[in-house]
Amino acid sequence: MISLTRFNGTQFWLNAELIETVEATPDVIITLTNGRKYVVRETAEQVVAAVLEYRNRSLLEAREEAPHGL
């Protein structure tokens, strides 16, 4: 999950695995695979960086939990 900020200033957590697109129109609109859309204060670059950080963290955790030899 990644932390984002709605335009009204409230923070929420979004499942990064469900993100289909991130658009800057100039507002940043995140569209999920189920069609739901979110407008956030973060820049498109910040959203992408948060997703990459989330995925890297997930991979590292999976490696740490994997049996030795994998």
pLDDT tens figures, 51-65 = 999 999 988 877 788
pTM of the prediction?
A: 0.85
Q: Which amino acid is at 40?
A: V
Q: Coil, strand, or helix at residue 45?
A: helix
Residue count of the chain, please give it: 70
Residue type, 55: R
> At residue 69, does pLDDT exceed 70?
no
Round to whole Å and give the CA distance between 70 and 40. 39
Q: Tens digits of per-residue pLDDT, 9-27? A: 999 999 999 999 999 999 9
User: What whole-number percentage of the chain has pLDDT above 90?
Assistant: 80
Q: Is 69 left (phi over 0), alpha (psi -120 to 50) or beta?
A: left
